[in-house]
Amino acid sequence: MSTSLTRRDLLAGAAVGVALLGGQAAAGPATRPTASRPTIRKALGLDMLPTSLALPDRFMLAADLGFEGVEVATIDDDNEVEAMRSAADRAGIVIHSVMDALSWQFPLSSDDPAVVDQGLDILRRSIRNAKDLGGDNVLLVPGVVTPQVRYQQVWERSQREIRKVLPFAAKLGVVIAIENVGNRFLLSPLEFARYVDEFRDPFLRAYFDVGNSVILWSYPQDWLLTLGRRVHRIHLKDCDFARKRFVR
Report pLDDT digits (tens) over 76-131: 999 999 999 999 999 999 999 999 989 999 999 999 999 999 999 999 999 999 99
pLDDT above 60: residue 5:
no
Q: Express each pLDDT in 192-245 by its tens digit.
A: 999 999 999 999 999 999 999 988 778 999 999 999 999 999 999 877 767 767
Single pTM value for the model: 0.86
Cβ–Cβ under 8 Å, residues 223 and 189: yes
Average pLDDT of the residues in 62-68: 97
Name the DSSP letter for residue 122: H
Cβ–Cβ under 8 Å, residues 97 and 88: no
Mean of the per-residue pLDDT values for the chain? 88
CA distance 155 to 83: 37
In the prediction, which pLDDT does 40 show?
86
In the prediction, which pLDDT does 239 show?
77
Q: Express each pLDDT in 34-53 by its tens digit.
A: 456 667 899 999 999 999 99
CA distance 173 to 156: 25
CA-to-CA separations, 208 to 7, 41, 63, in angstroms, rounded:
24, 15, 24
Cα dihedral 161/98/248/55 (nearest 10): -150
pLDDT above 70: residue 23:
no
In the prediction, which pLDDT does 30 show?
39
Tell me which architecture the domain covering 7-24+39-246 has in CATH.
Answer: Alpha-Beta Barrel (3.20)
Average pLDDT of the residues in 177-202: 97
Percent of the chain whose pLDDT exceeds 70: 85
pLDDT above 80: residue 157:
yes
The amino acid sitting at 226 is T
The amino acid sitting at 5 is L
The amino acid sitting at 2 is S
In the prediction, which pLDDT does 22 show?
60
In the prediction, which pLDDT does 26 show?
36
Range in 24-33, 69-78, 149-158, 163-172 the model is least confident about: 24-33
The amino acid sitting at 135 is G
In the prediction, which pLDDT does 34 show?
47
Question: What are the residue ranges spanned by the domains of the chain?
Answer: 7-24+39-246
Average pLDDT of the residues in 145-160: 98
Residue 29: CA count within 13 A, CB half-sphere: 3
In the prediction, which pLDDT does 246 show?
73
In the prediction, which pLDDT does 13 show?
37
The total of other beta-carbon atoms located within 10 Å of residue 73's CB is: 15
CA-to-CA separations, 64 to 28, 181, 210, in angstroms, rounded:
36, 31, 25
CA distance 1 to 13: 20
Please classify residue 42 by burial: count the beta carbons closer than 10 Å to its beta carbon, then call 0-12 exposed, 13-18 middle and 19+ buried. middle
Cα dihedral 2/50/81/126 (nearest 10): 150
CA distance 227 to 243: 27
In whole angstroms, how large is the CA radius of gyration of the chain? 18
